[in-house]
A and B are shown apart, each in its own frame.
Chain A
């Protein structure tokens, strides 16, 4: 119940915004995320931005996964 895609906010005009992913753009409503700024990565669900993606958290999570993956290799089969 949760199809929401991270896209980058490239234009903002009040409550209207344009988001972009891989060259595809769509206009979305920012009514639920007023403090979104151009350049933010936001989660898009049903034509609305519902939340921000925290890039720093994403990076930390990916680093954690890297470490876990490496630990498997060092442990062996």
Chain B
């Protein structure tokens, strides 16, 4: 498969696969760069990401969907309206072309769902390593509307923490695939969040910051916010939405739903007192049906862990970061 060597073969992959799928005027020129239509206003936001997933296809999605949604969501939680994406695929020699096609189709479908355009693409073939892998690298450009200022610098004691739906679905689904488990309702939550986020913004709820809890799940994200914002975050164990299937997979493998990645959820920090307004906006959008308030923000206290969980019995338990990725255990 000499597709990445440039010249005719790359052109054919882009022309025959990417072009029909991602069709848009900027891409169709097939030049060295995508010259975009005029800038719609607002401040530009730019993100880049690399995607590796094993297995490449899983219930609820695949690498292509993951790449587009991940990029769209990074922009969206930063306050930007996602506009244009680039998508580069690195293929190990021997990668199955039908699989590449399916991933590209998923990427196109996800882009349509999100209302974004994939305006530039590239492919490269590298010598075969271990297994027939496909990797995706993206960049995403969006626009932050004037007056919108979301970020950890705004998070403060008294804020409420919401999540837009049940946690851990993606991570549990991936681990289930790797370790021989399946369930009809067990699927990744991978989805574009921009529609939901704009609905939240339109509600007027005073949003402080949003994050998508991908690698490391809700736990890592909370630790990062606590550190950057200089606050303490307390989660409410009883309020945490976890689907039964996800809990079963986690229990079986010795994992924790709070550490399991989500690919279609946002953590939302809002000003205390505005939870109902925010939740109402989230729940009236199809992607936010399971939204819930899961905790609050406090001032830092000496000797108290930066992230803790209030248990069913009303006590607080520290929630330390787990070291590295979680692995299935017997013990």
- State A45–B329 Cα separation when bound (angstroms): 10
Cross-interface CB contact of A45 among B184, B251, B330, cutoff 8 Å: B330
- State A34–B181 Cα separation when bound (angstroms): 22
List A contacts of B249 (CB < 8 A): 24
Measured CB to CB, the closest approach of chain B to A3, in angstroms, equals 5
List B contacts of A26 (CB < 8 A): 179-182, 252
Check if B182 sits within 8 Å of A3, measured CB to CB.
no
List B contacts of A25 (CB < 8 A): 181-183
Check if A23 sits within 8 Å of B330, measured CB to CB.
no
Check if B331 sits within 8 Å of A1, measured CB to CB.
yes
* A21 adjacent to chain B (CB < 8 Å): yes
* B102 adjacent to chain A (CB < 8 Å): no
Check if A3 sits within 8 Å of B331, measured CB to CB.
yes
* B6 adjacent to chain A (CB < 8 Å): no
* B33 adjacent to chain A (CB < 8 Å): no
* B254 adjacent to chain A (CB < 8 Å): yes
Check if A22 sits within 8 Å of B330, measured CB to CB.
no
* CB-nearest residue of chain B to A47: B180
Check if B248 sits within 8 Å of A3, measured CB to CB.
no
Q: Scan residues 21-63 of chain A and give those whose CB is less than 8 A from a CB of chain B.
A: 21-27, 44-47
List B contacts of A1 (CB < 8 A): 330-331
Number of B positions contacting A (CB below 8 A): 20
Check if A3 sits within 8 Å of B183, measured CB to CB.
no
* A5 adjacent to chain B (CB < 8 Å): yes
* CB-nearest residue of chain B to A4: B330
List A contacts of B254 (CB < 8 A): 3
Measured CB to CB, the closest approach of chain A to B58, in angstroms, equals 14
- State A46–B176 Cα separation when bound (angstroms): 14
Check if B330 sits within 8 Å of A24, measured CB to CB.
no
Check if A5 sits within 8 Å of B245, measured CB to CB.
no
- State A24–B179 Cα separation when bound (angstroms): 12
Q: How large is the interface on A (under 10, 10 to 19, 20 to 34, 35 or more residues)?
A: 10 to 19
- State A26–B330 Cα separation when bound (angstroms): 16
Check if B329 sits within 8 Å of A3, measured CB to CB.
yes
Check if B186 sits within 8 Å of A24, measured CB to CB.
yes
* CB-nearest residue of chain A to B176: A24
- State A3–B183 Cα separation when bound (angstroms): 21
Q: Scan residues 251-304 of chain B and give those whose CB is less than 8 A from a CB of chain A.
A: 251-252, 254
Check if B245 sits within 8 Å of A23, measured CB to CB.
yes
- State A7–B181 Cα separation when bound (angstroms): 13
* A2 adjacent to chain B (CB < 8 Å): yes
Check if B252 sits within 8 Å of A21, measured CB to CB.
yes
Check if A22 sits within 8 Å of B331, measured CB to CB.
no
Check if B252 sits within 8 Å of A44, measured CB to CB.
yes
Binding site for A on B (CB under 8 A): 176, 179-186, 244-245, 247-249, 251-252, 254, 329-331
Binding site for B on A (CB under 8 A): 1-3, 5, 7, 21-27, 44-47
10 nearest A-B pairs in the assembled complex, by CB-CB distance: A22-B244, A24-B183, A22-B248, A24-B248, A21-B248, A23-B183, A26-B181, A1-B331, A23-B245, A3-B254
Q: A22-B183, A24-B182 are in contact. List 16 more A-B contacts (CB 8 A).
A: A1-B331, A3-B329, A3-B331, A5-B251, A7-B252, A21-B248, A23-B186, A23-B244, A23-B245, A24-B183, A24-B186, A24-B248, A25-B183, A26-B180, A26-B182, A44-B252
Pairs A–B under 8 Å by Cβ, sample size 22: A1-B330, A3-B331, A5-B252, A21-B248, A21-B251, A22-B183, A22-B244, A22-B247, A22-B248, A23-B186, A24-B176, A24-B182, A24-B186, A24-B249, A25-B182, A25-B183, A26-B181, A26-B182, A26-B252, A27-B180, A46-B330, A47-B180
